[in-house]
Every structure is written in structure tokens, then in C-alpha cells.
Amino acid sequence: MPIFRLFRITLEALRFVWDGALGRLGLSRSVPRAPERLRLSLERLGTTFIKLGQAMSMRRDVLPDAYIVALQALQDHVVPFPTKDAIEEIERGLGRPVGELFAEFDATPLAAASIAQVHTARLHDGRDVIIKVRRAGIKQQIDRDMRALTWLTRIALMLSPRLRHYQPLRIVDEIWSNLSKEIDFRREAQNIKRFAVAFAEWPTLLVPDVVDDLVCETAIVQERSGGLRIDDPAVKSIGPRLAQNFVDAYLHQIFVLGVFHGDPHPGNLFITQDKRICFHDFGLVGFLDRAARRKLAAFTIAFIRQDADWLLDAAIDLGVLGGDMNRDEFRRGLAEIIADYAALPLKDWSLAEAFLRVTRLGRAQNIFVPLDLLILMRAMFLAEHTVRILDPDFQLLENLQSKGPEALKGAMEQSDWTGALDRLKLDAITAAHDLPTVIRSWTRQLVQEGDGLGLSLHVRELRGLNEHIDRGSNRLALGLVTLGLYIAGSLLMQHSVGPRIFGDMPALAAFAYVLALWFTFRLVRGIARSGKL
């Protein structure tokens, strides 16, 4: 890890703290507020930290709204990199010269971002395509920066053990893992193909497919399409119909497919000439298995029916609420949320906002909401915003009440019950097969020991007790050894025993002190990590 980069990140962090101190003391009136300072710091640190900020902007459950707004404003548009580098990446990844791959290739980028840029081209069969090509060296840059961030996070935890409650290392690891997936265009190609197949027969939707055999880790070739942005005035006349088509598509994605587009902002949606909604950019996609879909369906129905008890159980099952909780306190909080919405017109109800408010009830207990639920929360906010653009008077709640039950059937598919019954049948057969062996074992134990059957008791609260006792014993032993080394070093120093170094210092005494200091450091670090003396 380059020391210069670690120093640069540390310097930017100190600058953020220093500017904040100046602002609080009133020594500078030009210092922006903390959310804006954070955004500027991340932009100055470059690609990795821009993506880090964008990932943190999904943590509505933890961060205040002001930080969410600031992080969502991070600028991801940068100066395009040289076309020569783009061509080299394309040829290296796809294994053929650009002249063989394409009949025409536009050297001027159509768009550029921090991770990749887009060129247009035409295949030899006449199809117009776009090529998304990754910046050279971006993977190494991300790995370097995330290693530096991990080091700084560890140092911060040593200085302030209270931060452990927020699991910063786990969050950093998750963001690092997701960034590595995002820059692998083979995963995005799989997502595009999945959506293209799922909506191939839908007359209201278009997903431009990838070109087979023209996909690699660093480049992806996709059929080109476009049209009007959803906020274009020319779309207004058909806005209500498009809003309904959009909601139908998302209900199908979430409750039937179990995979959904996680970034439906206006820049990723176009209206084609034949009045279809066209989806672009499948770098951010969320996944919900059948169990998660059923739980989300229960949450949605409980919210619509304004049932606080059911909503609490659904939120716990979904993983939105967790940890040690006072059910009565959470139930009162949910009842308050429901009462607030009951006082609003139906057109102003927001499932996304309700989902966020429920999540924030558990902010102190459940810091680590599952990633796919964070992506779902982001998608819900953006989707509701998109619906309001297309049709400001769209009755979202009424639509969920009327169209929801049909879509929710996907979360209770017959194949799911069939699979569950097959598994139950297999488990029953296995248990019946093993039963004679278990009975023989019990009988043998009764005959040989004559004292009845032995039962083992497992107490969850004592699950780590042995480990804690061992750790405490080890620390005590290490502390005694360290104390003995300090005493031995002092005696050797006093009596000048053994050879000498640095003039008159006994070498054995110096060795004893160095070893004792190292053990002391280990003890302090271990206590700091546990957060307990």
C-alpha cells in the first residue's frame, strides 16, 4: 500500500475535522456544513471515495437526511480518458482488434464516468451498439484505496472502541466487495440478460440486450436504444399510462422475479418512439429470495391495513428491526407512524418513506440492515419519484391495493409449496430410516450404564463463555509475564549483567524491556478491540 496515498487520505480526514472545528468556534464563516464538507472531501479523494459516498448514500437507516442529500449529489462525471486506452482495453478484453469487432467505431465518447466510459459503434450485421469500457487500472486503484481505508478504520477503532457498535470494518468490507462486483462487467451482462428475457414479451417495456460473445470483465457491448427522458414535456400527455406501466413492472420485478433494477432515476429511463419504457444501466441490482418476498409482502399488507402488531412482526422477520428490543416501545413507534399516514390523503402515502421510518426506529439496535434491503429502499424512493414525475396525481396506495394481490401471488408460487413438501417428505424418510439406529443407541446406553439416558443441555447465553474465560486467562498470564519481564529488566539493569549495547546498557535488560513493551502493546490493543477493561 503506497504510503503517499495513506497520507493523502489521512490529511483529507484531518482537514474535514479542522474545518468543522473552525466552523463550530465561529472562526470562519465560509466553512460549509458537515454534509457538504464530507461530499467535497470524497470528491477530492477521487473515484474510490466517490463510489464509497454513493454506497453510503443508501444508508438512510443510519445517516441523517442532510448527509443522504449531500452524498447523492456526488459528481460521478469526469473527463473522458484517451480513446487509445479505451481501444486497448476493448481489444485486450474481447481478444480481437476493434476493426474486426465493429464495422464502425466512434472515437468520441458518448459519456464518461469515474469507472467507465461509453462509445458508440455499429456491428458488421448493421446493428447499432454501445460499448461500455472500464478505465485501465481502476481495479488496482480501488483495492489500494480500500486497503488504506481499512487501516485507518482499524486505527480509529483503537482510539475509539465505541465505534465498534456501528461495525465499520464490516461496512468497509461490504462496500469493497460490492465495488469489486460493480466493476466486473460480466455480472452486469448477466443482469441485463436476465431482465431482457423476463420482459421480452412485455409490450410496455424494453431492455436492450447484450451482444453475445462480446462481454468480458472490462468491456460490455449492448444494443443501442434511446428516446425521450421521462421528464421531457413531450411525455406528459401519456404520463398516467406510463406511470401505471412502470408500477406494474416493479411489482413484477420485486414480487415475482425476485430481482429488481436498483437505480431507476430519470437518467436511466427513456421513452422510446413506440411509447415503451426503456431501462438502462444494470450495475446496481437487488435480489430477494422467495422467503424475503413473502416477508416483504406481509410488511406491505400490514402497512396498507394499518396493523401495528403485524407491521412489527413483519419488520422483525424482514430484518429491518433487530437486536435487543422493547416490543411495546417499537409498537408505539409503529402506531405513531401509521397514525401520521392515516391523517394524509391517499395520494400522499409513501411506502418508501414508511419503510425508512420503520428502519430508523431500530437505528440504535440493528446497525447492519441487509444490503438488498438497502438497495430496495433506494429503488423505492427513486421509483416513487419517477411515478410522481410521470403522473403527479397517481394513487400509489390504491394501485397497490388493487394490483398488489395479483403480483403478490408470485411470492406464494405453487412451485414453492411443492418444493417445501418435497423437502419435508425427504426429511421424514431420512428420519424414519435413522430411527432404528437411534433407538438401538439409547437401548445400549440404558443397558451398559443403567442410569438412564444422558441429555445434553445447550444454553444460548453461555455460548461463548469458554472462549471468554480462555481469553481472560490468557490476558492474565500475559500480564504476569510482562510484569516479570519489567522486573527482570530492572534487576539486570541495576546489576549490569551480561554484554552491553549503546555504550553502558546491558543487552539482556534491553531485550527484556523491548519484549515487555511489545506484550504491553498487545494487551492494550486486545482490550481496546473488546471495548472492555
Catalytic residue numbers, as ranges: 263
How far is Cα 112 from Cα 80, in angstroms, rounded to an integer? 5
Instruction: Quickly count: other Cβ atoms within 10 Å of residue 343's Cβ.
Output: 7
How far is Cα 220 from Cα 197, in angstroms, rounded to an integer? 18
Decide if 414 contacts 259 (C-beta within 8 A). no
- Alpha helices of 362-464 — where are they, by DSSP H? 371-390, 396-408, 414-449
Separate counts of helices (H) and strands (E) for the chain: 19, 14
Long-range contacts of 206-212 (CB under 8 A, 24+ apart): 206/272, 206/276, 206/277, 206/278, 206/279, 207/278, 207/279, 208/278, 208/280, 211/123, 211/127, 211/129
Residue 131 C-alpha cell reads as 460499448
How far is Cα 384 from Cα 243, in angstroms, rounded to an integer? 10
End-to-end CA distance of the chain: 33
DSSP codes of every residue in 140-162: HHHHHHHHHHHHHHHHHHHH-GG
Residues 6+ apart with CB under 8 A from 475: 523, 526, 527
How far is Cα 88 from Cα 80, in angstroms, rounded to an integer? 15
Report CA-CA distances (Å) from 209 to 101, 137, 186.
17, 27, 13
- Running DSSP on this structure, what letter comes out for residue 167? -
